[in-house]
Amino acid sequence: MVKIAPEQRLRILHLEDSLADQGLVRRIMTKANPLVELLHVDSLEGFTDQLTKYPVDIILADYRLNGFTALDAWQHVAHLPNAPPFVLVSGAIGEAAAVDAMRLGISDYLLKEDIARLPHVAARALEVHQAKREREFAVARLAESQAQLAALAEHLQTSIEQERAAIAREIHDDIGGALTAVRFDIAWMGRHATTAEMKEHAAAASEMLQHAIGASQRIMMNLRPPVLEQGLVAAVRWLATSFERRTETPTAVRVSSEEMAVPADVQLVAYRTTQEALTNVAKYAHATKVTIDLSDHERVLTLEVADNGCGIAPDMRAKPKAFGLKGLQERARTVGGWLDVSSQSAQGTCITLTVPLTSPASNPSEEF
């Protein structure tokens, strides 16, 4: 049985217009806990005045009073930011009325004929109230932590994209330029070689340099896709073509429109989602067909990447270090969207990105 601890200090506001009942409640509550402080009031004005002046731990109220009811008093309590528990103690309330009162937020009720149980009822109301406060505090802290994690994820994604862009520029300006210059020099050496052996070595070196230049261009494309400057549709088609050429897996792209007004940050999220999804297909799916659907119907961008591969095992998705899909989900949240993953064993996987487009894109080719 729940009891009020003898050492627990409690301030009780008692709304009751019967002096006899006031005295009875005082005797019962002080017997259960000598440290209880009771404030007795018998009018609605006195009730609101005491409630304003003194913080109370719990309210006990008769149901029918002189010219008003406990529900009128409850209206003054319900709007408080941390309303104390409110318990009806009455002989003039039926069970149906008591249930309706509790639906409004009143904590509990007790018939006066069972007044001896008042300390237990009050203790239970206090315990439930404390548990509710702790739960609300925990929910608020959880929401705060989630907001901080979302802000951190957004910051990390932005930092990663900025670093990728910086590396891509360095590769283009320094490494790419140097490789191209060396290739020209070797080509000159090959043209002016005096022996067949020197020409053969020059040709081999030129071929290796061409391979290195191609590799640097692919790395730049992955780090900072300039194809996005041509629009999201062109970028997705380029990814699909590159994937099909690299893996020899037939890849179809279906779009609702050739021109989609999509903000730059959303374009980048859709591009990275497609890129990561195709990478996963190449690594794990063993698929023989991939389909990409891109739509902007009703100002909602929807991207679906589906394959007919082996699917994703549930234990693989639950692995603590499976950051690929988790990263995509965080990316989606940074632009107000969400990511769904549906997969069945031996029936393939479908990754769906959905982002509401709240306003038209102002500059799709904006720097990221």
pLDDT in tens, 16-36: 999 999 999 999 999 988 888
Stretch 27-48: mean pLDDT: 91
143 lies in a domain?
no
How many CB atoms are closer than 10 A to CB 313?
Answer: 12
Q: Does pLDDT of 101 surpass 90?
A: no
pLDDT in tens, 177-212: 888 888 888 889 888 888 889 888 888 888 888 888
pLDDT at 309 over 90: yes
Alpha-carbon distance 276 to 108, whole Å? 55
Strands 251-255, 290-295: parallel, antiparallel or unpaired by DSSP? parallel
Task: Let me know if residue 55 belongs to a domain.
Answer: yes
Cβ partners under 8 Å of residue 92, min gap 6? 62, 63, 64
d(CA 55, CA 168): 63
Asked whether residue 320 is domain-assigned, the answer is: yes
CATH code at position 117: 3.40.50.2300
Q: Tokens 């769906």 belong to which residue?
A: 352
Gap between the terminal Cα atoms of the chain: 63
Instruction: Reply yes or no on whether the pLDDT at 262 is more than 70.
Output: yes
Q: Is residue 196 in a domain?
A: no
Tell me the H-state helices in the chain: 19-32, 44-53, 70-78, 95-103, 118-170, 177-191, 196-223, 232-247, 264-280, 314-317, 323-334
**Who has greater pLDDT, 244 or 177?**
244
Where does the pLDDT of residue 270 fall: very low under 50, low under 70, confident under 90, or very high at 90 and above? very high
Average pLDDT, integer, range 223-251: 89
Query: What are the φ/ψ torsions at residue 341 (nearest 5 degrees)?
Result: -125, 120
With a cut of 80, say whether residue 269 has pLDDT above it: yes
**Pick from 99, 120, 136: which residue ends a domain?**
136
**Residue after which a domain boundary falls, among 136, 168, 187:** 136
* pLDDT surpassing 50 at residue 175: yes
Task: Determine, yes or no, domain membership for 3.
Answer: no
Give me the domain span that covers residue 240.
228-368
Residue 3 confidence (pLDDT) above 70: no
Evaluate if residue 254 carries a pLDDT over 90: yes
Name the residue among 358, 337, 351, 330 with its Cα closest to residue 154.
Answer: 330
Can you give the CATH number for the domain in which 263 is found? 3.30.565.10
Asked if residue 232 and residue 360 are part of one domain, the reply reads yes
In a domain, 110, yes or no: yes
pLDDT at 155: 75
Predicted local distance difference test score (pLDDT) of residue 365: 41
Last residue of a domain, one of 102, 136, 170: 136
- Please, what is the average pLDDT of the chain? 85
Q: Is 347 found in the same domain as 236?
A: yes
Residue 182, in any domain of the structure: no
Distance in angstroms (rounded) separating the CA atoms of residues 159 and 271 = 17
Average pLDDT of the residues in 75-104: 84
The verdict on residue 207 lying in a domain is no
Mean pLDDT of 66-80: 89
pLDDT digits over 119-165, tens only? Answer: 999 999 999 999 988 998 999 999 888 888 777 876 777 777 678 77
Number of domains in the chain: 2
pLDDT of 344: 85
